[in-house]
Amino acid sequence: LFLHNRGPEALQQYGPEICIERKLSSAGKNGTSAFKVLDSNLRAVGHGMHTVRQIAERLNIHVDNPCVVLKQSAAKQFLNSAKERDKYRFFMQASKLGDFVDILRESHDNVENAWEQHRHTSDAFSVIQQQYDECKRNYDNLLSIQAQEKLIRFYVRSEHWMAYHRQQQKVQQLRNKLAVVQHRICVGRDTFDAKKNAL
């Protein structure tokens, strides 16, 4: 099969013509076939059905469309059939409207599935939001408790320091009284010694 490869949409790596060669072999139970893609100089530049499909897509060739490639079986069926249904089927196949309907139906199903997943995700998000709010409340309560415990420890330390200062004041007062008593004792002893020596 030779394809003209010219114009602005030409595939430059193949040259002005593309040759697609298919070899049929009787090897195996049902036989096999192999594709080879040749450039304009008949040099092999690709192999396999994947390469052929890429070329067909790039050149916008719809092989399954009977208006592009009319097979003998399709032509015979179309010419020999007088039924409106067969002609309508041929029209739907040629205009690709049947494919568009299938694609539209598939797209509609995909949209429905996406909305269903979105609804499930929204429900799951609500549950996650509730769990997050509950965890945040617990965390805030924990922070509040820790702050209260810290404040309580501060008050306890303050109370201990106040008690210490009160005790220090009492001790100082006792020391002052003791100093007064000791001074009186010294004065009394000196007076006693002076009277004793006077006798």
Over the stretch 86-111, which tens digit does the pLDDT of each residue have? 777 777 766 666 677 778 888 999 99
If we measure between CA atoms, which residue out of 49, 85, 92 comes closest to residue 67?
92
Contact between 16 and 40 (Cβ < 8 Å) = yes
Which residue reads 């965390």 in tokens? Answer: 139
Rg (CA), the chain: 52
Identity of the amino acid at 154 = F
If we measure between CA atoms, which residue out of 35, 49, 43 comes closest to residue 15?
43
β-pair partners for 4: 17
pLDDT band at residue 42 under the 50/70/90 scheme: confident
Over the stretch 176-186, which tens digit does the pLDDT of each residue have? 999 999 999 99
pTM of the predicted protein model: 0.38
> Which three-class secondary structure state does DSSP give residue 158?
helix
C-alpha torsion sign, points 39, 45, 48, 52: negative
DSSP for residue 16: S
